Amino acid sequence: MKKLFIITLAVLFAAGAAYAVEYDYSGMINTRGTYLDNDDGISEKDAYMWYDMEFDSTLKINPTDQSQIYLNWEIHDENFTGSPESSGGKTGDDNIAFKRAFGKYTWGNGINTSFGLMSGGAFGTAFGDNGDGYYRVRVDGAASFGNWGFILEKVQENGTGTTDDWEAEKDDSDAYAAYLVTKAGDVTLNFLAKYAQIGDATGANVAPGGFEEEGADIDMMIFVAAAMGSFGNIGFEAEADIVDYSFDGDDIGPVDVPEDYTSYGLYGNVWMTMDAAKFGGYAAYGSWDDDAGAGYDFGADFYFGEGVGENLGIGSNNRGGFSAVTLLGLYADYSINDALSINGNFSYWMSNEDELADGTDSDWKDADGYELTGRGSYQLADNVKYSVGAAWGEIKPDKGSSPDAYVRAFHKIQINF
């Protein structure tokens, strides 16, 4: 794999010399040490420590003024284990993993078409975002009223791996989206509508007991509206998301088709800047549906602290952060000089969960908690930064219980190029 990677880069650069192709190469490498105590915030686990590292770089290739190729990859995104260490037996991003690989062509009318493995799962603010690589074909353009685009996204290709009957496109999983980014004075407005059909062709895997019938297909509709802007030294951002789930299928033995439901999330953040200081407060809300036993997830990319989302999650169906909670927080940033900056965050959350789909109480019913985070960074050189941080928080699974606090601390050095 390493030899193929090196040969590929050599061929690309050689071709660039022959055809005057332009390149833009950037990236970073870092190593981080972490201390963690009571890592899930509930089980009162013993503390442990480790180091991890990551090399991440992006190569933009411009064969012509109208065409671009983008490559992004990671090397050794992993924890330190044994030494000496060899990547010979490693797979995925523990060795070399290309996270993005797509082409882009700009038509004469300013419209461009992109195709391949590109970034997705993020729009508007960071609220509700799970940014990652998605296989897409997209068309983007600019007009007097703003920037617009249409996206085709492959969620899952089921045809080649079915265990039972397969109905072509119905059992594949695809998503279609349209967006608009426009301005109203000093305010930027973002709108997204997305439809996803998630087909199921898993057959007997759906139901215990050997049932061969196909499971439920899912239709999802997602609507996102976000706004951000500033008025003098006052800035803000806000977002409202609605996600509607519809299930199509038959009950199979003991397995029932889930209930249709709609979840929604609301987020707002207002801040004020004063010279080198910034002060702000935020609030977020995620709904919960008792009949479905599911709620709105804030996404893995959203949080101002350092504990939740890094090593623990809050809520029954969280994806690396918060789900179905009301979250309130305050934060402050201060640049002491050009090299040294510090910031802090305090957040309080309370769960909105109540009952599960079977009528029993959720494990997160009446739960709440809080977290205090502090961070600092020092610019050792123009492209070298050393940073430290710590988070201390408590999770109270229900009123009257109080596990030990969780603690996370880290320090990291990073070189950008």
> Would you say residue 54 lies in a domain?
no
Task: Please classify residue 283 by burial: count the beta carbons closer than 10 Å to its beta carbon, then call 0-12 exposed, 13-18 middle and 19+ buried.
Answer: middle
What's the 3-state SS for 136-160?
Answer: EEEEEEEECCEEEEEEEEEEECCHH
Q: Residue 243 and residue 323: Cα distance in Å, rounded? A: 13
* pLDDT tens digits for range 214-235: 556 788 999 999 999 999 999 9
**pLDDT tens for each residue of 33-90:** 999 998 888 877 889 999 999 999 999 999 998 999 999 999 888 888 777 665 555 6
Residue 156 lies in a domain: yes
3-state secondary structure of 8: helix
Can you give the residue range of the structural domain that contains 248?
A: 137-258
C-alpha span between 54 and 34 (Å, rounded): 14
Q: Does residue 331 lie in a domain region? A: no
The whole-angstrom distance between residue 48's C-alpha and the CA centroid of its chain comes to 26
Q: Which long-range contacts (CB under 8 A, 24 or more apart) does 85-89 make?
A: 87/2
Alpha helices in 140-217 (DSSP H): 168-171
**Tens digit of pLDDT for each residue in 136-175?**
999 999 998 999 999 999 988 766 655 555 565 666 788 9
Q: Is residue 211 part of a domain?
A: yes
The pTM of the full predicted model, rounded to 2 decimals, is 0.86
Separation between Cα atoms, residue 40 and residue 57, nearest integer Å:
32
pLDDT tens, residue by residue, 354-380: 988 888 899 899 999 999 999 999 999
Residue 235 lies in a domain: yes
Is residue 236 domain-resident? Answer: yes
In a domain, 381, yes or no: no
Is 2 part of any domain? Answer: no
CA–CA dist 104, 63 (Å, integer): 11
Q: Say whether pLDDT at 254 is over 50.
A: no
The count of structural domains within the chain is 1
Task: Report the DSSP beta bridge partners of residue 220.
Answer: 196, 245
Please list the residues that pair with 224 across neighbouring strands: 192, 241
